[in-house]
Amino acid sequence: MQQHAVSNFSFPVFLMPRSFLAPLLVLPLLLVPAAALAAPATEAEMNLYTRIAAVNVCIARGAGVPFDKAVGIAGETIAQLIQGQHDGVISQVGAKPLSIDDLRKGSINSAVLGAAEICPKEVPADVMAKVQDAIKQSPDAKPAVKPATPKPATPKPATPKPNTTK
Model confidence pLDDT, tens digit, residues 6-48:
444 444 444 445 555 455 555 455 555 544 558 999 999 999 9
Higher pLDDT, 6 or 95: 95
Higher pLDDT, 112 or 35: 112
Amino acid at 79: A
What is the mean predicted confidence (pLDDT) over 1-10?
48
List helix spans (H) across 7-149: 18-30, 34-37, 43-62, 67-86, 100-118, 125-137
Residues 111 and 57 sit within 8 Å (Cβ to Cβ) = yes
- CA-CA distance, 101 to 99, in Å (whole number)? 5
Per-residue pLDDT at 112 exceeds 70: yes
pLDDT-derived band of residue 140, with 50, 70 and 90 as boundaries? Answer: low
- pLDDT tens readout for residues 50-69: 999 999 999 999 999 999 99
* The predicted structure's pLDDT at residue 135: 86
Residues 56 and 70 sit within 8 Å (Cβ to Cβ) = yes
Average pLDDT of the chain is: 77
* The predicted structure's pLDDT at residue 151: 47
pLDDT-derived band of residue 146, with 50, 70 and 90 as boundaries? Answer: very low
Q: How many beta carbons lie within 10 A of that of residue 106, not counting itself?
A: 19
* The predicted structure's pLDDT at residue 142: 53
pLDDT-derived band of residue 120, with 50, 70 and 90 as boundaries? Answer: very high
pLDDT-derived band of residue 93, with 50, 70 and 90 as boundaries? Answer: very high
